[in-house]
Chains A and B, each alone.
Chain A
């Protein structure tokens, strides 16, 4: 079978390509160029010229064809514009999830199909399988520390049907061991940590450059509306943030709310951060049909959040409501909420 592997130049997608090639598949490596590489800006940690070069060298060592696709325009339209718009709206975006569902398993998948490939493989730590009734399922990876199913919740049945995650059943140390066994020169390459398209100067300067209107002074107030200080733009804040408020107070203060129309940031004590319910929009159900009545599940609300138990039900208009058994701190609008049943992804959406 001809399979396209999305190669970032990192160890995970390199091993993914190598394992598929070893299984005897006809592997075609594709790498996405996502932003202008000619400028002198230093970017974050993924898909730089060095990474593209690494991907090319791995492909060459594996003896598979490799091509770099220019997705600059499409990346700008689907990922960066959303990232900037979310910050401007006082929310905290999750670009990697958009990149997976709107770019890798949309545009790249289209290209793969046009090239005669039936599957797109990536180096994600997650697993796909199929239920007895033919439904495509998404599961957490075998390595709970590296699990990336949170970033893949928006994949539809059609997209999951074409998705392959060859390292999803391995732990990171096992992936590195495979890379060493296969003699891949990226075996010891450090993991990427940051959002790939951000220059090293950080996200705030990037957002302010892309959307100058957000960099406006506003008030920092307490829950009673008393002005405690001022700030240089709401994009510098995220719900649950403690540092960088510039306010001296007897007890630590946390960002509770960001109101984009007035530019007001509301702060308060940690106890006020806790929430028992949340609603989500743009919900994608994977293992189940939209549940009309309450269904027991655990909800993960950040990449590094441990899914907390509660119950979920579907609302009108692709929305959902989740009620936690225990109040949770820092439910952040713009982040994803993903509903789990054990390691099975029930579905997920965007926190409102």
Chain B
């Protein structure tokens, strides 16, 4: 079966150049970057080179990039680290959008159990956080605001620069989870005006288990892990050298191809949207069509359970996703679509298509050819909804 992978927001395959760089390091650079001798220096040099490449992707100074194990750790380090550093000032209020990734939402929940107050910003059906909503939520007590750069489910890009300015006017720090935007659209930490920014390598053709947190110079942050003095005392533990080198290589590739690849993917994505909306009755795009990352669309299919559609498409060789998976691997209603105010049936009938490097017009044609019949079958044959 010719399989089509349209779930790049979940993860991406390694770029060949990334795999080559990692294999070389795994084979030839076994040194510990903290070691003083020759072997340590070689490993350290590889890590430094990767740090420069990642910094370049973010318009940042390499010295402000801390490598982590991925997006989740970066989000945790940013929010917990900043919150705990500010604890003594008496600022005990945290704000985030309600469409954040679980890495942010559940970190806020954990802090709420320890006495922090939290406010979640709802969004309207555009899926874009409004500056007015943030303005209304901010208080003198607000320690930190966390709003994602691009949403993972619907792809909408948030007005980070404006939101960060509002937070700063109230004396609050600003973190953005840029896991879904890094490598897809330009990021410039100075233009965004944020204090903390999280990214993850495997979302842009790097390896799993590698991520980074950019931290504005001079910002006080309590480390989440205690141990050695790696990463300028911000992230203890011997560096994942191969993962870091892979992330650096992926950042370099992403940066060099970004404009061209974004235009290509946006055209494919738009073709997919027009094709699906034209060929399948009862469909609608969830969220604003602009500003969006170029590779993502989220489409609602009236009278269809997303769970069944996902399985039916997988049996046809088309890999897509919906909502977020829970511990057993079943699907939960999308918290993002819920926060956008959609009724229950709409939070359970939506599918995310996220395109990537290997996708071509042939893939889009296959999806448009398969979808109408698959959806029609589900609509006529499913009589007993499991959850709605």
Contact = CB atoms under 8 A, between A and B. Distances in A.
Task: Tell me, yes or no, whether A binds B.
Answer: yes
Contact of B307 (A28, A70, A106, A113): A70
A240 to B, nearest CB: 35
A56 B330 CA distance: 12
Given A28-B315, A74-B387, A110 B382 contact: yes
B387 A68 contact: no
Given A114-B312, A116-B315, A49 B328 contact: yes
B377 A68 contact: no
B89 interface: no
A107 interface: yes
Contacts of A69: 307, 330, 386
B329 interface: yes
Nearest to B332: A70
A324 interface: no
Contacts of B386: 69-71, 73-74, 107, 111
B387 A115 contact: no
Contacts of A71: 386
A111 B385 CA distance: 9
A85 to B, nearest CB: 20
B7 to A, nearest CB: 15
Contacts of A70: 307, 330-332, 386-387
Contact of A73 (B326, B327, B328, B387): B387
A277 interface: no
B310 to A, nearest CB: 8
A159 interface: no
Interface string B84-123: 0000000000000000000000000000000000000000
B381 interface: yes
A110 B381 contact: yes
B327 A38 contact: yes
A52 interface: yes
Contact of A74 (B308, B315, B377, B384): B384
Nearest to A66: B329
A115 B375 CA distance: 10
Contacts of B332: 70
A52 B327 CA distance: 10
Interface string A102-140: 000011001101111000000000000000000000000
A88 B158 CA distance: 53
Nearest to B384: A107
A62 B381 CA distance: 28
Contacts of B327: 37-38, 49
B329 A68 contact: yes
A115 B328 contact: no
A115 B316 CA distance: 10
Contacts of A68: 328-330
Instruction: Categorize the interface residue count of chain B.
Output: 20 to 34
A114 B375 CA distance: 9
B38 interface: no
Interface string A23-59: 0000010000100011000000000010010001000
A342 interface: no
Contact of B383 (A49, A67, A72, A110): A110
Nearest to B348: A70
Interface string B309-347: 001101100000000001111111000000000000000
A114 B386 CA distance: 13
A68 B308 CA distance: 10
B326 A38 contact: yes
A114 B308 contact: yes
Given A114-B312, A116-B377, A52 B329 contact: yes
A56 B326 CA distance: 15
A81 to B, nearest CB: 15
A65 interface: yes
A103 to B, nearest CB: 9
Nearest to A67: B311
B329 A65 contact: no
Nearest to B309: A114
A110 B377 contact: no
B378 interface: yes
Contacts of A33: 328, 330
A73 B331 CA distance: 13
Contacts of B311: 67, 111, 115
Nearest to A36: B326
B308 to A, nearest CB: 6
B384 A65 contact: no
A57 to B, nearest CB: 12
Contact of A115 (B308, B331, B384): B308
Contacts of A72: 387
Interface of A: 28, 33, 37-38, 49, 52, 56, 65, 67-74, 106-107, 110-111, 113-116
The 3 A-B residue pairs with the shortest CB-CB distance, nearest first, are A70-B330, A114-B381, A73-B387
Given A68-B328, A74-B385, 7 more contacts: A37-B328, A69-B307, A70-B307, A73-B386, A111-B311, A111-B386, A115-B312
30 contacts: A38-B327, A49-B327, A49-B328, A65-B314, A65-B315, A67-B311, A67-B314, A68-B328, A69-B307, A69-B330, A69-B386, A70-B330, A70-B331, A73-B386, A74-B384, A74-B387, A107-B384, A107-B386, A110-B382, A111-B308, A111-B311, A111-B386, A113-B381, A114-B377, A114-B378, A114-B381, A114-B382, A115-B312, A115-B315, A116-B312
